[in-house]
Chains A and B, each alone.
Chain A
Amino acid sequence: MNKVQNNKAWWLVLPVFLLVAFSAVIPLMTVVNYSVQDIFDQNNAYFVGLEWYQEVLSDPRLQDSLARQFMYSGTVLLIEVPLGICVALMMPTRGWTASLSLIVLALPLLIPWNVVGTIWQIFARSDIGLLGYVINNLGIDYNYTSNSVDAWATVLLMDVWHWTSLIALLCYSGLRAIPDAYYQAARIDRASSWAIFRFIQLPKLQGVLIIGVLLRFMDSFMIYTEPFVLTGGGPGNSTTFLSQTLTKMAIGQFDIGPAAAFSIIYFLIVLLVSWLFFTTITHLDKDKVKEQSHD
């Protein structure tokens, strides 16, 4: 099928293009310019070529925080996605309990990030915090300010508490969109509840799950506020993630050149992953359209 294309419509995109150029493209170009220079002040900048990139790529501090970042995002996805699906499956579907559970689930999403960090910072303390106090009284030695395993567990738990709701709510809406006829057919076939989940619910959830995974990956990959408030990146560097390393470099030490080079690499990684997700989503849709046109 060939649609008639009117290229004049592109002029309507011009205002948005100008806005994006002003707010994103020009600053990004400036960052690229910074990344190839050694900058002392506004009038003293020396061209150093790709030296910063080389330095940044072989910097163990950055390699470590990149590895930590991938581990963090991976773990967050591995916990939150299955948990979110389970929560969505168990939520009541009608009546006042359905509304109540929706409100309860939405609450964590409404809390500002730094407040979440503060809540957990106090909640997990072993002297005045309820969680820390209970865990220590169960006979488990727990202190997130001195033990890196405890710090990791706390940061992960905080993220799960804050964001599983998002996946659950997305899946809940996805589940509600499945027509009843599918379930009736499954009942006629005497399908087990596992079979219903595996062959009806999970395939129908594919679309929302991809969006959920993308959102959670992006957010967790760029996470800054929550671990910063909770652990300050410690103990040592054990919970220092990429954005925190970057901020320390750019603002703390004023190493604008290396920080710019590092930002570009960070940007490229985010761009690659987002593109992969985006392509997967759009191609799933295209495949569906093809399937339907074959029917």
Chain B
Amino acid sequence: MNWMAWTLPTAIFFSTIGSIIVMMTVWEIKSPCIERKGFLPISTTRGDRLFIGLLSSAFLHLFTLGFTSVNIWLALIASVIWLLSLMRWG
């Protein structure tokens, strides 16, 4: 594992993403989702909304880092709220 140069924060980051994917898989097997349309302009499945949420969160973090002096933890909190509301109403 040494060659992959793990650090604690990246390990936490990837385990979070990994466990989200595992949980989504279990959820999908237990109750398969139906594509629907929320406030997003396109109809999406659960997985689509997760992908959109994660990608937009990544860009939100980059924007906060590069163009503002706002604390990065605020971006994280905002991303979590955004991701949750996207999953619920997106």
Contacts and interface: CB of A to CB of B under 8 A. Distances in A.
A272 B65 contact: no
B55 A34 contact: no
Contacts of A45: 5
Secondary structure at chain B's binding surface: helix, strand, loop or mixed? helix
A47 B9 contact: yes
A230 B2 CA distance: 40
Contacts of B58: 268
Nearest to A43: B2
A32 B42 contact: no
> Which range contains the number of A residues in contact with the other chain?
20 to 34
A57 B65 contact: yes
Nearest to A27: B4
A50 B14 CA distance: 16
Contacts of B55: 268, 271-272, 275
B89 interface: no
Interface in B34-86: 42, 51, 55, 58-59, 62, 65-67, 72
Contacts of B3: 30, 42
A265 interface: yes
A191 interface: no
Interface string A152-195: 00000000000000000000000000000000000000000000
Contacts of B42: 279, 283
Contacts of A49: 9
Contact of A268 (B2, B29, B62, B65): B62
Interface in A40-60: 42, 45, 47, 49-50, 53-54, 57-58
B9 A36 contact: yes
Given A29-B14, A268-B55, A279-B42, A50 B65 contact: yes
A5 interface: yes
Contacts of B72: 50
Contacts, number: 54
Interface string A1-35: 00001010000000000000000001001101110
Contact of A272 (B14, B29, B59): B59
A39 B5 contact: yes
A32 B62 contact: no
B32 to A, nearest CB: 7
Contacts of B7: 33, 36-37, 47
Nearest to B10: A33
Interface in A242-260: none
A251 B83 CA distance: 37
A138 to B, nearest CB: 46
B27 to A, nearest CB: 13
B54 to A, nearest CB: 10
Contacts of A265: 62
Contacts of A283: 42
Given A50-B65, A54-B66, A283-B42, A33 B59 contact: no
Contacts of B6: 33
Nearest to A49: B9
B5 A34 contact: yes
Contacts of B5: 30, 33-34, 37, 39, 45
10 contacts: A26-B4, A39-B5, A47-B7, A53-B62, A53-B65, A54-B66, A57-B62, A57-B65, A57-B66, A272-B55
- Rank and list the top 9 A-B pairs by shortest CB-CB distance, nearest first: A57-B66, A33-B5, A30-B4, A33-B10, A47-B7, A53-B65, A54-B65, A268-B58, A45-B5
